Amino acid sequence: MNRAGLLIYLALLCSAVAIIGWRLQDGLPLDTNIVAMLPQSEDAEWVTRAEAAERSQGSNQLIVLVGHQDFETARSAALDLGKMLEENSIVKLIQDQPQQSTLTSLNELLFPHRTGLLGEGDRRLLAAGQEQVLIDRALVQILSPLSLADAELIRRDPFLLLPNYIAASTENRSKLLSRANVLAIQESGKWFVLVRGNLVGNPFDKGFQSRARSVFDDAGGKLEKRYGDIQLLKTGAVFYGEHAYRQAEDEAGFIGMISLIGIVILNFLVFRSFQPLALSLLAIASGIAGGLAVTLLFFGTLQLLALVFGAGLIGISVDYAFHYFCERFNQASSVPAARARAIRSGLTLGLVSSVLGFITLALTPFPGLQQIALFSASGLTLAYLTVLYAFPYLDRSAPFRHGEKYLKFSMLLHDFWWRAETRKWRWLFVALLLTAGGLGAMQITVDDDVRRLQSLPTDLQAEEQAIRHLAGIENQTHRFFVRGSNPEEVLQAEEALALDLEALRASGAIGSYRMISQFVPSKTRQLENQALVDDVLMPRLAEHMAAIGLSGASPYQQAENVLTVDQFTDANMPGLFSRLRVYKTPGIVVHAVSLSGVKDTARLAKLAEKSENVALISQADSLSKTFGAYRLRALIMLAVAYVVVWVFLSLRYGFIGAFKVMIPSMAAVALAPCLIALMGEPFTFFNAMSLMLIFAIGLDYALFNREATGDRQRRAMLANGLSTISTLLAFGLLALSETFAIHAFGITILVGITLAYILAPRAADLEHPMTEPL
């Protein structure tokens, strides 16, 4: 059996190394997008497809303002920067400033349809019979010394319908001024010129992030050399993603390093030998190799948080090694296989319980958490095989001759729970714990806001804020998707939605909105407009022409067809509208409606509920809602995990006995959220998920206490103590993380594992010790 176990271990280890080598040929496929950890959206399929189409069009932007006292310098630097970013395949620049040729072709395209193109205001005036306002407006505009209209335009469109339509539908709401073919703004004596592009790569892809950052920094250096004191203000998901990755990498490196140093010190302090350390590292390496290989095999990429918790896995896989080497304090046996046999029952029960817990965790539909579960379960299994089947072959050492003081010290906690003379102190401790838990329970606050998951660096936020202040470019937090079976249906649906949006705008619930139908009305709307113009405005044409000294026939000839969206390419449609064309396939057309200045999301959500062809897209809100739902689900899964493990452990201890074994773990899980609430920490989905780890590790401690009898009890307590210290080093340090989700995990585990260790000796049963190994 031992030999077979070793062969299985070796085969699995070699396979893991081969898989890792194969998958890492092109570098570590690390995904830093925390959002990717979430379950597939519960939205309708068309919404999911539209979102994917939007992403593939490069909806993620990079925005830079290049600042200098001299406009020409700022402009040249901005053009150079744009060129460098484009040449290095970081962005595809957005033409915010339409070229004259584009405007001309746009005018030519729209001109024949001008009587069908009315802004909402003009349309309302004509419908109300107030055509005089439009006539007076045309006269005022023709008379103005700052007139838009020349003789040719006035002759062909005396009511100036088209220029007013274009002015109304393409109104520029940003603060930027068009100057010398760039968009710029002057603030406090400094000119800022805009560079804006769609990212060519995935902003959450580590490789792309590093390249984008490197190209940007390199370009910044070149501009400084070339132009001197240039100021660059930047924003975009790629910068936030890159920062998140670097932070996680730093934290994982730091935590992993502290963890390793802690393990090394613990090993030398307790075992005074190099061999336990070397074999512990083998268990750790095997565990990580197993976890990494299986995760990469099933998922293809590795989630940021799975990597961070991979570092944490070190703390658990080394627990098994501690239990093995603590057996070397047994002077009665010098056979390595006997050491493995002594811990096999506790180790196996602990592993199976943990894996059952992780399987339960994997049942949640969060891909990132499935990765953590898979990583942990497979990693621990390989660490388990290392300890039970490889260690006995590699360990040829005689029992330790030292360690009595550690063994005695580790029994202090056990004695506290079982000695008669500490009875009143036990009650006092339990009373204090319950009081603190009760007080904490009253202070638990739930927080599911997804925006807290990724801590935003203050310097990047300050730059984004400055860009918002200077350029008036606002981060779009909400938008609608509108669907139809053809463009006409979508345009009509947009026009229906616009009625409600106008009401929201008037009440201040939103600032403004943009939709394609504001530029290309539906066929129905265009025909209505034409009828209005024919019935209300045209009877006044002769009088109007005479007033401005224009003779001849009516210049308004009816166009044969109405204007359609399909007549536009992305090139000849103004940029702000072309970006709203999301998705088109036979039978389904989806447009986006952009919203700005959103103040009341509830009213927007109600609008979306009115029609199945309209969906409100707000990643942050819907994810927060999803987090709330799955926080509850995680707690339910935890309860399910306890029931499954109870049934499993009942096979060995009976129902009552199994329940007693589970009490320390359950108490730690119940008390941890209460105690951290006393520290002012909110309870989030991630706190809930960390309870799963407390459940598994807490059960391990309890099971070793339950399985250890006689003198072995001392060694089990020492191993548990060492495990707790290493786990706190690995996981507890996560509490220092600046990433909220990781911090939440860390702080919960810090408190929970400490409690699990302290309470674990109560799982022992001195009257009915386990004499038969598993």
Partner 1 sequence: MLKTLRLFIFALVIVAAIPAQSAPLTLNDGEAVMGRFEQARYLRGFDKPILSEGEFFLLPRSALIWQTEKPFFSRMIIDEEGLSQAIKGAEVTRLSFKQFPGFKLLRDTLENSLSGNWAPLEEIAGTKLLPADGKYSLRFSPKTSGLTLPFAYLNFEIGDFLESVEIVKSNGDRDVITFSEQQVAPAADVRAKAESSKEKQP
Q: Which of 336, 64, 362 is nearest to 216 (CA)?
A: 64
Question: Which range, of 249-257, 420-428, 544-552, 742-750, touches partner 1 by CB under 8 A?
Answer: 544-552
Question: Which range, of 32-40, 129-137, 524-532, 681-689, touches partner 1 by CB under 8 A?
Answer: 129-137
Of 44, 109, 142, 215, the one binding partner 1 by CB under 8 A: 142
Choose between 74 and 671: whose C-beta lies nearer to partner 1: 74
Choose between 152 and 560: whose C-beta lies nearer to partner 1: 152
- Per-residue mark of binding to partner 1, 154-193 (x: CB under 8 A): xx--------x--x--xxx-xxxxxxxx------------
Q: How many residues does the chain have?
A: 774
Q: How far apart are the first and last CA of the chain?
A: 14
Asked if 774 interacts with partner 1 (CB under 8 A), we say: no
Choose between 148 and 663: whose C-beta lies nearer to partner 1: 148
Choose between 141 and 572: whose C-beta lies nearer to partner 1: 141
Asked if 129 interacts with partner 1 (CB under 8 A), we say: no
Distance, in Å, from the CA atom of 288 to the CA atom of 315, rounded to the nearest integer, reads 11
Choose between 66 and 677: whose C-beta lies nearer to partner 1: 66
From the CB of 144, what's the least distance to partner 1, in Å?
Answer: 6
Distance, in Å, from the CA atom of 756 to the CA atom of 700, rounded to the nearest integer, reads 9
The residues, ordered by sequence, that sit 6+ positions from 149 with a Cβ below 8 Å of its Cβ are: 141, 142, 160, 163
Of 95, 144, 334, 485, the one binding partner 1 by CB under 8 A: 144
From the CB of 41, what's the least distance to partner 1, in Å?
Answer: 37
From the CB of 556, what's the least distance to partner 1, in Å?
Answer: 17
The residues, ordered by sequence, that sit 6+ positions from 503 with a Cβ below 8 Å of its Cβ are: none
Choose between 185 and 741: whose C-beta lies nearer to partner 1: 185
CA angle 764, 767, 770 (to 5 degrees): 60
List C-alpha distances in Å: 698 to 108, 134, 445, 638.
75, 78, 25, 13
Size of the site for partner 1 (CB under 8 A): 37
Coil, strand or helix at 29: coil
From the CB of 499, what's the least distance to partner 1, in Å?
Answer: 23
From the CB of 243, what's the least distance to partner 1, in Å?
Answer: 33
Coil, strand or helix at 332: coil
Residue type, position 257, single letter: M
Asked if 608 interacts with partner 1 (CB under 8 A), we say: no
Distance, in Å, from the CA atom of 515 to the CA atom of 495, rounded to the nearest integer, reads 9
Choose between 125 and 691: whose C-beta lies nearer to partner 1: 125
Q: Tokens 């400084």 label which residue?
A: 224
Query: Based on C-alpha coordinates, what's the Rg of the chain?
Result: 34
Encoding tokens for residue 25?
């040929």
Residue spans of alpha helices (H) in 548-618: 575-578, 601-609
Choose between 175 and 426: whose C-beta lies nearer to partner 1: 175
Distance, in Å, from the CA atom of 746 to the CA atom of 729, rounded to the nearest integer, reads 10
Helix (H) or strand (E) holding 616: strand 614-617
From the CB of 73, what's the least distance to partner 1, in Å?
Answer: 15
From the CB of 504, what's the least distance to partner 1, in Å?
Answer: 22
Of 129, 549, 586, 710, the one binding partner 1 by CB under 8 A: 549
Q: Which of 328, 331, 338 is nearest to 272 (CA)?
A: 328
Q: Which of 37, 65, 10 is nearest to 303 (CA)?
A: 37
Asked if 148 interacts with partner 1 (CB under 8 A), we say: yes
Distance, in Å, from the CA atom of 619 to the CA atom of 601, rounded to the nearest integer, reads 12
Question: Which range, of 130-138, 312-320, 571-579, 634-642, touches partner 1 by CB under 8 A?
Answer: 130-138
Choose between 188 and 551: whose C-beta lies nearer to partner 1: 551
Of 10, 24, 140, 261, the one binding partner 1 by CB under 8 A: 140
Question: Which range, of 139-147, 449-457, 525-533, 629-637, touches partner 1 by CB under 8 A?
Answer: 139-147
Asked if 151 interacts with partner 1 (CB under 8 A), we say: yes
Encoding tokens for residue 9?
């271990």
Q: What share of the chain is helix, strand, coil (3-state, %, to 5)?
A: 70, 10, 25
Question: Which range, of 1-9, 151-159, 253-261, 641-649, touches partner 1 by CB under 8 A?
Answer: 151-159
Distance, in Å, from the CA atom of 771 to the CA atom of 646, rounded to the nearest integer, reads 21
Choose between 44 and 142: whose C-beta lies nearer to partner 1: 142
Asked if 8 interacts with partner 1 (CB under 8 A), we say: no
Of 141, 477, 564, 650, the one binding partner 1 by CB under 8 A: 141
The residues, ordered by sequence, that sit 6+ positions from 575 with a Cβ below 8 Å of its Cβ are: 94, 95, 96, 98
Asked if 150 interacts with partner 1 (CB under 8 A), we say: yes
Question: Which range, of 145-153, 262-270, 361-369, 587-595, touches partner 1 by CB under 8 A?
Answer: 145-153
From the CB of 176, what's the least distance to partner 1, in Å?
Answer: 7
Asked if 547 interacts with partner 1 (CB under 8 A), we say: yes
Choose between 52 and 167: whose C-beta lies nearer to partner 1: 167
Distance, in Å, from the CA atom of 34 to the CA atom of 36, rounded to the nearest integer, reads 5
Of 40, 101, 458, 551, the one binding partner 1 by CB under 8 A: 551
Question: Which range, of 281-289, 367-375, 541-549, 567-575, touches partner 1 by CB under 8 A?
Answer: 541-549
Asked if 139 interacts with partner 1 (CB under 8 A), we say: yes
282 contacts 344 by C-beta, under 8 angstroms: no
Choose between 88 and 147: whose C-beta lies nearer to partner 1: 147
Q: Is 440 exposed, middle or buried (0-12, 13-18, 19+ CB in 10 A)?
A: buried
CA 288 to chain centre: 24
Assign 3-class secondary structure to 359-388: HHHHCCCCHHHHHHHHHHHHHHHHHHHHHH
Half-sphere exposure of 436 (CA within 13 A, CB side): 19
Residue spans of alpha helices (H) in 328-366: 336-362
Question: Which range, of 36-44, 146-154, 211-219, 739-747, touches partner 1 by CB under 8 A?
Answer: 146-154
From the CB of 531, what's the least distance to partner 1, in Å?
Answer: 23
Asked if 100 interacts with partner 1 (CB under 8 A), we say: yes
Distance, in Å, from the CA atom of 709 to the CA atom of 597, rounded to the nearest integer, reads 68
Choose between 536 and 678: whose C-beta lies nearer to partner 1: 536
From the CB of 547, what's the least distance to partner 1, in Å?
Answer: 7
Longest dimension (CA), the chain: 120
Choose between 256 and 574: whose C-beta lies nearer to partner 1: 574
Coil, strand or helix at 461: helix
Asked if 264 interacts with partner 1 (CB under 8 A), we say: no
Of 146, 420, 506, 602, the one binding partner 1 by CB under 8 A: 146
Coil, strand or helix at 479: strand
Pairing state between β 479-484 and 182-187: unpaired
From the CB of 252, what's the least distance to partner 1, in Å?
Answer: 47
Q: Is 550 exposed, middle or buried (0-12, 13-18, 19+ CB in 10 A)?
A: middle
The residues, ordered by sequence, that sit 6+ positions from 390 with a Cβ below 8 Å of its Cβ are: 6, 9, 10, 282, 286
From the CB of 179, what's the least distance to partner 1, in Å?
Answer: 6
Choose between 155 and 603: whose C-beta lies nearer to partner 1: 155
Of 3, 40, 101, 152, the one binding partner 1 by CB under 8 A: 152
Choose between 183 and 311: whose C-beta lies nearer to partner 1: 183
From the CB of 177, what's the least distance to partner 1, in Å?
Answer: 5
Q: Which residues bind partner 1 (CB under 8 A)?
A: 100, 133, 136-137, 139-148, 150-152, 154-155, 164, 167, 170-172, 174-181, 547-551
